[in-house]
Amino acid sequence: MMLFHLLKKDVLIVKKYVLIMLAAAVLIPPFMLWRAPQYTGVLGFMLSVIFCVFMLLQYVSLKEYQFPKAATLLCATPYPRKMIVLSKYIFCMVTYVACCLIYGIETLIIPELGSCNIKLFVLMLFITCIFIGVYLPVQYKLGYEKTKFAFAVVIMASPFILPQLMKMENVNLDFLSLLSPLLAYGGITLLSLGILIVSITLSISFYSSVDLP
């Protein structure tokens, strides 16, 4: 229950942006279909997930940065620090699941968006886990400002990375179908969970040793 309330806390402090991000998750795939049909499908879904998860996490981090003593008060209550960390990961995963649901519904309504299959969701889960798996421990270790700077560097490098990402549309994931679906998707899901577990352990370890303001 504590986790649920901490999750509710994250939603409450960014509630102004939650609706905007949900709208973005709804609009990005059809927008891609309208403006850049060649990138509809995997890339549209990928962009909506990255945009929603990253932006909402950024807003939560920004609010925590603006009111740093609020986290101190939470840690002075019976909320354990590890639960506070864990709730951030769950917040990201809930956002991811919401994006999946929205995209799933959209593909039913707009068939031109492409097929909605488990392969896509598993691949995106893997990418999301890598993203938050790196971002959150770095933020717990370096703080919001330094992490923002580090990721700004990554964003500045994106013109060089993006062309490579564009090619992902042509990535042949058929090798996965050579394996049994259970093995392939189960393996990637387990790997994603493994990344999350290592990341959560690191984040808890960093946050537990921090002297709060």
Partner 1 sequence: MNDILKVENLNKSYEGFSLADVTFSLPEGCITGLIGINGAGKTTTLRTLLGLTKKQSGNIQFFGLEMEKNEKKIKDRIGIVLDDGCFYDELSLAGMKSIISSAYTEWSEQDFKRYMDIFSLDPKQKINTLSKGMKMKYALALALSHNAELLIMDEPTSGLDPLIRSQLLKVLTDYMENGGKGVFFSTHITSDLDKIADLLIMIHNGRIVFQEEKDFLLDTYRIVKGDAKTLTGDVRKLFLSISETAFGFTGVTKQIAEVQSFFPDAITERPTIEDIMLANIGGYKK
Least Å distance between CB 148 and partner 1? 20
Minimum CB distance to partner 1, residue 95 (Å) = 19
Least Cα distance to 144 among 57, 209, 75 occurs for: 57
Alpha helices in 36-167 (DSSP H): 42-66, 68-76, 81-109, 118-142, 144-156, 158-166
Find the shortest distance in angstroms from Cβ 199 to partner 1.
22
Q: CA torsion, points 89, 93, 94, 97, in degrees to nearest 10?
A: 180
Task: Decide whether 62 or 165 has the Cβ nearer to partner 1.
Answer: 62
User: Closer CB to partner 1, residue 76 or residue 156?
Assistant: 76
Please give the single-letter amino acid code of residue 67. F
Q: Which of residues 166-195 bind partner 1 (CB under 8 A)?
A: none
Note whether 140 and 85 are within 8 A (CB): yes
Q: CA-CA distance, 96 to 29, in Å (whole number)? A: 15
Binding letters toward partner 1, positions 108-127, x by CB under 8 A = --------------------
Please report how close the Cβ of residue 176 comes to partner 1 at its closest, in angstroms: 42
211 lies in the binding site for partner 1 (CB under 8 A) = yes
Neighbours of 9 (CB within 10 A): 18
Q: How far is the CB of 12 from partner 1 (least distance, A)?
A: 5
Our finding on whether 13 is near partner 1 (CB under 8 A) is: yes
Q: Does 101 bind partner 1 (CB under 8 A)?
A: no
Label residue 80 exposed, middle or buried (CB < 10 Å: 0-12, 13-18, 19+): middle
Show the binding pattern over residues 54-93: x = contacts partner 1 (CB under 8 A), - = does not. ---------x---x-xx-xxxxxxxxx-------------
Tokens read off for 195: 């990344």
Give contact residues for partner 1 (rule: CB under 8 A). 1-2, 5-6, 8-9, 12-13, 63, 67, 69-70, 72-80, 209, 211-212
